[in-house]
Amino acid sequence: MENVIRTYQLNKEFKEETALQSFDFALQQGEICALIGKNGAGKSTFFKMLSGQIAPTNGEIQLFGKTKNEHARARQRMGFMIEEPKFFGDFTAEQNLEYFRIQRGVVEKARISEVLKMVGLSEHTKKKFHQYSMGMKQRLGLALCLLSNPDCLVLDEPTNGLDPEGINEIRRLLLELNQERQITILISSHILSELQLLANRFVFIHDGKMVEDISKTDLENKCKKQLKIKVNDSAKTSQLLERTFRDIDYRCLVDGWIIIHSHVDQGAEINALLHREGISVSEVMVEDVTLEDYFLKLVGGTAND
């Protein structure tokens, strides 16, 4: 299987800040890979290096097996959506895409109506860009990515500004592009529940370093059920759990919630123990582990720090 993207010991430094360090990454043809990290983790820096917007401090990037001198040609096979796309405010969707079609040497003019239909903008082609909502702007940005029939899409927050229906439509479109047209996709989003439905591989990045690279199958095996309890005294509960279950795996959330990842089948026993020790338990539930749960357990904190 061909490597679409390959990096070796990639580093990026900004003055005294290291944004990305020792980043070894490979994306194979046909994958949908989600890059997951908090704000400032290095995701956008990595995407900008792939697109050529910024240069690495050191390390190597290969695109379709091509090294630095041939990157411009390799990027013609890729569509990038990084930050808010830059369009002409007084142009319609058709006029904006016509400008980029000529600029990028796309021969078929009919491709404009094709991509506008694909992203659900067929009924808004005459409206000026400055009249577009944030969600419509994102759709037009995706249409621009698709204009040159790319083999790979690199998408940074492509569903930003979309309502739930729009997010669902974009997810269906990306799955269709991947499954029917074999387009490889590298994507980031703060909506981790969407990534869980879309991606078949997950790469977690924290403080500029890759902390885990895991397939969807392996992630699902790790994301077993968890026990969630709400108590009136988290500190006392923590001490009690650690004394009783030496190998317990848990974390405390706000408002008295405690998530227990191990001993889930002993929920009744844990509940009885807490009651005996005078701890008030207001809620107990067993739930599936989400991608966000897994991510927060891996790096700590909150998803959008």
Q: How many domains is the chain partitioned into structurally? A: 2
Out of 205, 220, 235, pick the residue that ends a domain. Answer: 220
Question: What's the CATH number where 249 sits?
Answer: 3.30.70.260
What DSSP string describes 117-144? HHTT-GGGTTSBGGG--HHHHHHHHHHH
- Of 50, 66, 59, the residue nearest 18 (C-alpha): 59
Q: Are residues 108 and 18 part of one domain?
A: yes
Q: What is the mean pLDDT of residues 6-30?
A: 92
Q: Are residues 84 and 195 part of one domain?
A: yes
pLDDT at 97: 93
pLDDT at 302: 53
Q: Cα separation of 185 and 153, whole Å?
A: 5
85 within domain boundaries: yes
Q: What is the pLDDT of residues 204-238, one digit of tens each?
A: 999 999 999 999 998 887 777 888 999 999 999 99
**What is Dmax (Cα atoms) for the chain?**
76
Q: What is the pLDDT of residues 141-168, one digit of tens each?
A: 999 999 989 999 999 998 887 888 888 8
Whole-prediction pTM value?
Answer: 0.81
Q: Cα separation of 106 and 186, whole Å?
A: 23
- Of 293, 239, 243, 241, the residue nearest 271 (C-alpha): 241
Q: Are residues 106 and 84 part of one domain?
A: yes
Question: What's the CATH number where 110 sits?
Answer: 3.40.50.300
130 within domain boundaries: yes
Q: What angle do CA 42, 45, 50 make, to 5 degrees?
A: 125
Q: Are residues 28 and 144 part of one domain?
A: yes
Q: The tokens of 248 are what?
A: 């317990």
Strand order in the sheet with 225-231: 250-252, 257-260, 225-231, 281-288
Q: Are residues 190 and 267 part of one domain?
A: no
Q: Are residues 50 and 125 part of one domain?
A: yes
Domain that holds residue 270: 224-288
pLDDT of 84 > 90? The answer is no
